[in-house]
Copies of this chain bind each other. A is one copy, B any other.
Amino acid sequence: MVLTALLLAGCASAPAEVATAPAPPTAPMSAEAAKPPVALQYLYGSAEAAIAVRATNARIADYALRRIRERPKDSVVLAPSASMSAPLFEPCGNKPFAAVFDADETLIWNLGPMRYFAEQGSSYDPKIWDQWEQTGAGKAVAMPGTADMLARLRAAGITVIANTNRSAANAKGSEDTLRAAGLGEFKHGETLFLMGDDATGSSKDGRRATIASKYCVILMAGDQLGDFSQQFNVKDLPAAQRMALATSAAANALWDQGWFLFPNPVYGPWEKLGWDDVFPAASNWTPE
């Protein structure tokens, strides 16, 4: 019971009454936490997040169909060595059109292991995640509006490609997972690019370059900045610099205009942020 109370205290520190929210829950607590952590409640359960995801998918499909009316000069994949301050893109030439998506929390929600980790009160475990990649087919779900969005893209002749940091060793499991979620066929090496496909580890830049050498990439979508360029993930990049880079004029010209970001408050590179990164000292406040 102490565990339960502490978990709840830590995870549900939220002013439910501020807006039009109902009163805080008063249901009796079980031996487990009575409710999932708030980030999981929001992302996987709320109408609010479903609307945000659906709207993002609608923007992607609308953008894609508008974009291919006239052949773009360039892909939205940055050329090697191009920085956000002087962006330079891979050329489109006469290559066929493609749209490149991250998989986890971009095409599918990983409900199975997310519930498991949260119920156990455990953090991410790479061995369990590896099992999930192999056996999760049917337990991950397409995100709201994603199947429709992909269908609209494919009907317009746009090749749909996933570039994910799931392991190349588990390619079949990920192909099966995406198919079972109703998202169609992804084939390793053709329309599914995985960590281990090249020697650059979790950076997706190399795989993006490979894809852009064969396709005119009209859009990319993901839930983290590494889904767009590895320069946002440079080791020890200070949080303030990452923020400045991601909201620079050059980057802002791409958001919703070729680069599409899905909400994911459940996990991400921002998990390293400390109290003073998240809350500037000038905003500190204490009640009397």
Q: Hey, which bits of chain A sit against chain B, CB under 8 A?
A: 3, 6-22, 24-25, 27, 33-52, 54-55, 58-59, 102, 104-105, 110-124, 126, 128-129, 131-132, 135-136, 139-141, 144, 164-166, 202-204, 222-227, 230, 232-233, 235, 239, 242-243, 245-247, 251-252, 255-256, 261, 263-275, 277-280, 282-288
In the complex, the answer to whether A242 meets B47 with C-beta atoms within 8 Å is yes
B275 touches A124 (CB 8 A): no
A271 and B121 form a contact (CB under 8 A) = no
Are A15 and B48 CB-contacts (below 8 A) given A35-B274, A39-B39, A119-B275? Answer: no
Q: If the complex has contacts A10-B10, A15-B129, A39-B39, are A270 and B123 also in contact, measured as CB distance less than 8 A?
A: no
Number of copies: 2
Of the candidates A11, A52, A120, A255, the one having the most CB atoms from chain B within 10 angstroms of its own CB is A11
A-B contact pairs, 24 of them (CB 8 A): A6-B6, A14-B267, A17-B124, A17-B165, A18-B104, A19-B102, A19-B268, A20-B204, A27-B274, A36-B274, A37-B39, A38-B39, A39-B42, A41-B270, A45-B278, A46-B268, A48-B261, A48-B264, A50-B247, A51-B255, A52-B263, A115-B285, A135-B285, A139-B283
B-side contacts of A140, CB under 8 Å? 283
Inter-chain contact B267/A115, CB cutoff 8 Å:
no
Residue of B nearest to A275 (CB): B36
Contact B6 A10 (CB under 8 A): yes
Residues of chain B lying within 8 A (CB to CB) of residue A43: 265
Chain B residues contacting A255 (CB-CB under 8 Å) are 51, 54-55
Residues of B near A135 (CB, < 8 A) are: 285
A165-B38 contact, Cβ under 8 Å, with A284-B115, A285-B113? no
Residues of chain B lying within 8 A (CB to CB) of residue A112:
283-285
Given contact pairs A22-B272, A24-B271, A51-B246, A123 touches B284 in the complex (Cβ within 8 A): no
Bound: A124/B14 CA distance, A:
5
- A8 vs B6: C-alpha distance when bound (angstroms): 10
B residues in contact with A45, CB < 8 Å: 239, 270, 273, 277-278
**Residues from chain B with Cβ under 8 Å of A266 in the complex:** 14, 38
Q: How far is the CB of A241 from chain B (nearest CB, A)?
A: 10
**Is the CB–CB distance between B139 and A273 below 8 Å?**
no
In angstroms, Cα B79 to Cα A260, docked, is 34
Interchain CA distance A247-B235 in the complex, whole Å = 40
In the complex, A52 Cα to B259 Cα: how many Å?
12
